């Protein structure tokens, strides 16, 4: 793990592309940190307490300041499962209100159990962490000289999506809502592809220079179009074929060899995305 400077006072650690494995130890996503005069604000925790510990020690080595906030962009393991280490640092944990509900309803316990069954030992030390501050629509805070605006963008990738916007720096921390040259994951049981497109349109209207996302190098706004094109492509093609009464297996087969098949994560996510949209379309009006 290596701390990379993105911009003045903004740093990232960059995970590899893939699913959790013994080799990558779950380091499959990015996390970010903003340095202010009064301490660090971190966006996403990484997948495990072990990875978070390493990330925190890199931050402290760079500037030995307290970690004041941890903002979790959504509940997925690679963004949230390391949060307990930030709690130890007395950081304020900020999430969408729905994440706290999933925590209290026990949904996240089941999720963690399933992840442990799927990926084993990598996640054995994960402790689910209760949020301190929850966001419904918008929450802004100031630390040192910097303003942070947390905006709800859900439901889209999940039912817990929030983004962090730095108005002066024109930087957007977008979680898993924006990708470039990589297949987005729409298969979450709470995802909403229809509203995801609305969310992307909202982002397009924002004044943004750099998008810092969960699984890419720093991006410009063209990434919003890439994500929009993939989601609307799937929605339109599936919808058209459903109207023609084409069967699910045939729809799936038709959507295999397209311009999208060359991108990373295609094999892992594409069919799950088709399945979710195929089912969701019946309930949209
Ligand atoms: Zn995710």
CA torsion 214-68-125-74 (nearest 10°) is -30
* 16 CA from centroid of ligand 1 (Å): 14
Which residue intervals of the chain are DSSP H helices? 49-62, 77-80, 83-88, 97-105, 107-119, 193-204, 222-243, 248-254, 266-280
Tokens for 232? 């609307």
What's the length of the chain? 285
pTM of the model: 0.96
The rounded Å distance from CA 76 to ligand 1 centre is 5
DSSP string over 100-121: HHHHHHTHHHHHHHHHHHHHGG
User: In angstroms, what is the span from residue 186 Cα to ligand 1's centroid?
Assistant: 9
Residue 33: CA atoms inside 13 Å, Cβ hemisphere, count? 28
What confidence score (pLDDT) does residue 120 get?
84
| Dist. CA 125 → ligand 1 center (Å) | 20
Ligand 1 centroid distance, CA of 78 (Å): 7
- Tell how far the Cα of 45 is from the centroid of ligand 1, in angstroms: 12
CA of 73 to the centre of ligand 1 (A): 8
Return d(Cα 186, Cα 190) in angstroms, integer.
9
Distance CA 47, CA 26 (A): 6
pLDDT band at 284 (very low <50, low <70, confident <90, very high): confident
> What is the structure's pLDDT at 195?
97
CA distance 112 to 184: 22
CATH second-level architecture of 4-221?
4-Layer Sandwich (3.60)
pLDDT, mean of residues 194-215: 98
Name which of 16-20, 107-111, 198-202 the model is least confident about: 16-20
Query: Does the pLDDT at position 285 exceed 80?
Result: no
* Cα(144) to centroid(ligand 1), Å: 30
């Amino acid at each position: 793990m290596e701390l990379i400077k993105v911009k003045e006072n903004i740093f990232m650690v960059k995970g590899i592309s893939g699913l959790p494995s013994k080799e990558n130890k779950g380091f499959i996503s990015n996390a970010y940190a903003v340095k202010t005069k009064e301490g660090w604000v971190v966006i996403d925790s990484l997948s495990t307490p072990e990875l978070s510990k390493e990330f925190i020690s890199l931050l402290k080595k760079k500037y030995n300041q307290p970690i004041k906030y941890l903002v979790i962009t959504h509940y997925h393991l690679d963004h949230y499962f390391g949060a307990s280490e930030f709690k130890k640092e007395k950081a304020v944990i900020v999430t969408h209100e729905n994440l706290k509900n999933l925590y209290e309803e026990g949904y996240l316990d089941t999720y963690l159990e399933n992840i442990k069954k799927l990926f084993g030992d990598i996640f054995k030390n994960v402790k689910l962490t209760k949020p301190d501050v929850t966001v419904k629509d918008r929450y802004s805070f100031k630390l040192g000289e910097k303003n942070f605006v947390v905006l709800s963008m859900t439901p889209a990738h999940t039912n817990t999506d929030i983004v962090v916007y730095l108005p002066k720096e024109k930087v957007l921390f977008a979680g898993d809502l924006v990708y470039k040259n990589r297949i987005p994951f729409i298969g979450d049981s709470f995802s909403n592809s229809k509203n995801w497109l609305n969310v992307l349109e909202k982002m397009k209207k924002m004044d943004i220079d750099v998008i810092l996302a969960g699984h890419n190098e720093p991006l410009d706004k063209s990434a919003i179009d890439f994500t929009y094109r993939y989601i609307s492509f799937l929605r339109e093609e599936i919808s058209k074929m459903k109207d023609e009464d084409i069967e699910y297996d045939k729809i799936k087969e038709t959507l295999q060899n397209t311009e999208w098949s060359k991108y990373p994560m295609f094999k892992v996510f594409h069919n799950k995305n088709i399945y979710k949209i195929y089912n969701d379309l019946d309930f949209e009006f």
